[in-house]
Amino acid sequence: MMDLNARLKKFKEAEYDVNKEKYEKIINQQNPHTLFITCCDSRIDVEKMMQADPGEVFHIRDIANIVPRERDPEGHIPIVSSIEYAVQVLEVENVVVCGHSNCGGCAALMHLDDYETSLPHTAHWLRQSLPLRDYVREKYSEESEAEQLVLLEKLNVFQQLVNLMTYGFVSEKVTAGTVKLTGLYFNIATGIVSVYGYDPEMKDLLEEIAEDVKAAPDVC
């Protein structure tokens, strides 16, 4: 069994005490430059990926890095309030959505009926992205399921950028140029992190997916 106490002791001695001056600077306040929205997956080490020190990155983690749409906030207040706080109070400069390969959430989404009974809360959460799954199945019906899953993982990142823009406090700052939206896709097998900016090159794809979601009935 993992000895958590030993690890905490090692953190205090080998990390905190060695870098005490760094930690003293952030005792009274945080000033993160980036809101990083990613999956709960334990294989994603945000600080190492971003080469960041404590205090630089404000985190939101949830299964499959989903951002609830503005029309669906009532059941997802912890996520929405965290986005609001990061953008409005902490005034982050960047909002990042990071998806990844071998995503268990996206894999479950491909066969969501199998989880309705065994993992009802997880299934309820993932149901937000059913329109996107259906989009991938229809648009890429000739691809294998494994290839569809990779497409879903990547398009899921794009979809969350669209969802972020449904919030006025986000879209206003993006339009004003004070907040930059960025999508990332981390390939665990290669270490390559692909970057997708919110720019005209992806506009058509985002609008196409957004129209599919708008046409879909509310599911949450």
Q: How confident is the model at residue 162 (pLDDT cuts 50, 70, 90)?
A: confident
Residue 40 falls in the annotated catalytic set: no
Contact 87, 179 (CB under 8 A): yes
Q: Is 198 left (phi over 0), alpha (psi -120 to 50) or beta?
A: beta
Domains and CATH numbers, the chain: 33-215 (3.40.1050.10)
b or e along 59-73 (b: 16 or more beta carbons within 10 Å of the residue's beta carbon)? ebbbbbbbbbbbeeb
Cα–Cα–Cα angle for 171, 175, 177, rounded to 5 degrees: 120
Q: Across the chain, what does the average pLDDT equal? A: 90
What pLDDT, on the 0 to 100 scale, is given for residue 74?
67
pLDDT tens track for 42-56: 999 999 999 999 999
What pLDDT, on the 0 to 100 scale, is given for residue 218?
39
Name, in order, each residue with C-beta under 8 angstroms of 150's C-beta and a sequence gap of 6 or more: 101
For range 163-173, the mean pLDDT: 94
What pLDDT, on the 0 to 100 scale, is given for residue 198?
76
Residue 61 falls in the annotated catalytic set: no
What pLDDT, on the 0 to 100 scale, is given for residue 213?
46
Q: Which one from 62, 69, 98, 100 is the annotated catalytic residue?
A: 100
Residue 106 falls in the annotated catalytic set: no
Residue 100 falls in the annotated catalytic set: yes
C-alpha–C-alpha distance, residues 28 and 130, integer Å: 42
Q: Which one from 39, 62, 106, 133 is the annotated catalytic residue?
A: 39
Is residue 33 over pLDDT 50? yes
Q: What share of the chain is helix, strand, coil (3-state, %, to 5)?
A: 55, 15, 30
